[in-house]
Amino acid sequence: MCPLTLLFKQISTQSTIFPPEFLTETKDRGMLETKDRSSWGKLVIELMEGEKGKEMKRKAMEWKAMAEEAACPGGSSCKNFENLLADILLVQNNKK
C-alpha cells in the first residue's frame, strides 16, 4: 500500500486537521494511490508558490486569528468553557 494512503487513513482516524483543499487536491489527482515523484513535486510547488497555496495560507491565517480571538478572555471558547464549568458545578451542587 502506498505510504501516503496509510498516512491519509491515519489522518482520518486521528482527526488531524489538514486544509480540505489539500485533501481534495490529493484525492482528485490520485495522489493517494500513486508514488509518482514528479506529480508530488508539482503539487508541492503549486501549494507553496501558486495562487492556491497563497489562498490556503490566507485562509489558515484567518483561522488562526479567529482561534486566537476565541481563546482570549471573553472570547467564545472561554465563554463556552466557563459555561461548561458552571454546568458541572450546578450539577454537583444539586447532588448535595
Q: What is the mean pLDDT of the chain?
A: 76
Ordered by start, the domain boundaries in the chain are 3-49
* Closest of 33, 48, 13 to residue 22, by C-alpha: 48
Q: Is residue 4 predicted with pLDDT exceeding 60?
A: no
What is the reported pLDDT for 1? 47
Separation in Å, CA 12 to CA 6, 19, 40: 10, 12, 20
Q: Is residue 29 predicted with pLDDT exceeding 80?
A: no
Q: Is residue 23 predicted with pLDDT exceeding 70?
A: no
Rounded to two decimals, the pTM is 0.47
pLDDT in tens, 37-78: 677 778 888 888 888 888 888 999 999 999 989 888 888 988
What is the reported pLDDT for 47? 80
Cell digits of residue 88: 458541572
Cell digits of residue 38: 514528479
Amino acid at 37: R
Phi/psi of residue 79, nearest 5 degrees: -65, -45
